[in-house]
Amino acid sequence: MDLLRITGDTPLTGTVTAGGSKNAALPIMAASILATEPVLIERVPEVVDVTTLSAVLAQLGVEVKRQDDGALRIETVDSSPTRADYELVRRMRASFCVLGPLLARRRRAVVSLPGGCNLGDRPVDLHLAGLAALGAKLRIDRGYVIAEADELRGADISLLGPHGATVTGTANVMSAATLARGTTIIRGAAREPEIVDLADFLNTLGARIVGAGEATIEIVGVEHLNGGTHRVIPDRIEAATLLIAGAITGGNVHVKNARLEHLGGVLDVLDRAGAELSVSANSVSILMQNRPRPIQVTTCPYPGVPTDVQPQLTALATIAEGRSEIVEGVFPDRFMHVPELKRLGARIERAGHAAVVDGLRRLVGAELMASDLRGGAALVLAALAAEGVSLVRRIYHVDRGHEQIERKLARLGAQIERCRDQQPAKVGSS
């Protein structure tokens, strides 16, 4: 296992480029099962979750190859397998996105339930209800969802759950509905840019989807989907994380490939925290001259502040000049990073689904352990701000969604290196 060794308290400066969106690429890769011809997907990030989904697809007779130009070429070479095993699905919940496409294209899908997760309870009831409304017969047997349908039929479906819309649930049902007979209306659909990107991809293959990005999506079923080429949108969460890296270190960072229209909620928070932002359509610069002002944040579905940036904003709040309140509105228990941030000296109290953070002038380096992707990224950011050396262990969580995080941060002047965990580095002031 790798760890990151970080010597903090250096302002980051320079230019860095965000990669392609992991959370757009994964459902798009899964939806490639629907195509009758090869598809080419550009700007898919080289992250562990993409490798995991490639293994799931291989199990399903779908070949995923990275070409010399970096694009992924995806082609079904055997359309008989229908089973995605627990061994792979448990590693990454997004594997569940193969359920809808498999069912629609092969009429049968046997997909492991994803199981537990470090963000708290994450049911898939809405995915299943949506597919059942399309006419699928579903049952759960020994931890697997078994879904069958000779034919899917268009339906009027609500996908709204207790915490708002479901992103991958919308992806699953929208993908399946492309091949259903008749028209499907999805109400309470997720409005995230990743859903718009999936709809754009499916429409490129010949699907007839309108309204993606709105709460109501209409899908007119077609006989089959062809091949095609699609370029994945830039990763708004990675862009936000890099901007917060600039803010937390009192630096001056220019992030290219950051789409302003996707970052509104986060930029508002950074603006209120006192950052000087300059924006263009495809890049954002951040300059932080003083300690951040305290922030009041409630995460919610798009276009609000994303839950996937909550841990990083909590890290920023640890050095703010006063008391911040961070309310988690999507995954109420997503606070695994809080005890680790406290190891750096941060003063944080949990209050139900919120964290109350009393900012300090200085964090002090310590040994830390990542327990999920975004929480791990938050630890890296906090370590960049902390005085002295920190070790962030179990960095594989961060590798699931960040392409070369230490290289990008090093390019901005961060003192950061990847080490094998069996060679523990000395911890303390450097």
Alpha helices for 60-166 (secondary structure H):
86-89, 99-106, 125-133
* Rg over CA atoms, the chain: 22
Question: Can residue 191 be called a binding residue for ligand EPU (CB under 6 A)?
Answer: no
Binders in 306-325 for ligand EPU, by CB under 6 A: 306-308
Could you say whether residue 161 binds ligand EPU (CB under 6 A)? yes
CB of 9 to ligand EPU, least distance (A): 27
β 354-358/367-369 pair status = unpaired
User: What is the spatial distance between Cα 287 and Cα 253, in angstroms, rounded to a whole number?
Assistant: 7
- Number of residues interacting with ligand EPU: please give it, by CB under 6 A: 27
Please identify which residue in the block is written with the tokens 């994945």.
232
Pick from 127, 254, 343, 402 the residue near ligand EPU by CB under 6 A.
127
**Residue 123 binds ligand EPU, judged by CB under 6 A:** yes
The values of phi and psi at residue 183, to 5°, are -105, 135
Q: Which of 34, 64, 126, 316 binds ligand EPU (CB under 6 A)?
A: 126
11 to 8, 410, 415: CA distances (angstroms)? 9, 12, 10
Of 16, 18, 25, 26, the one binding ligand EPU (CB under 6 A) is 26
Q: Tokens at residue 424, please?
A: 């523990």
What is the DSSP annotation of 215-235? SEEEEE--S-B--EEEEPPB-
- Pick one of 28, 60, 167, 305: the residue that binds ligand EPU (CB under 6 A): 167
- 124 touching ligand EPU, by CB under 6 A: yes
- Establish how many alpha carbons lie within 13 A of residue 344's alpha carbon, considering only the half-sphere containing its beta carbon: 38
Task: Considering only the stretches 116-124, 174-182, 203-211, 386-394, report the one whose residues sit in contact with ligand EPU under the rule CB under 6 A.
Answer: 116-124
Q: From 9-17, 117-125, 356-364, 404-412, give the range in contact with ligand EPU by CB under 6 A.
A: 117-125
Q: Out of 374, 393, 394, 402, point to the residue binding ligand EPU (CB under 6 A).
A: 374
Assess whether 419 carries a catalytic annotation.
no
Directed axis angle between helix 167-177 and helix 22-31, to 10°?
30
Task: Please say which residue, 94 or 412, places its beta carbon nearer to ligand EPU.
Answer: 94
Residues that bind ligand EPU (CB under 6 A): 23, 26, 93-94, 122-127, 161-163, 166-169, 190, 194, 306-308, 330-331, 373-374, 401
The residues annotated with a catalytic role in the active site are: 117
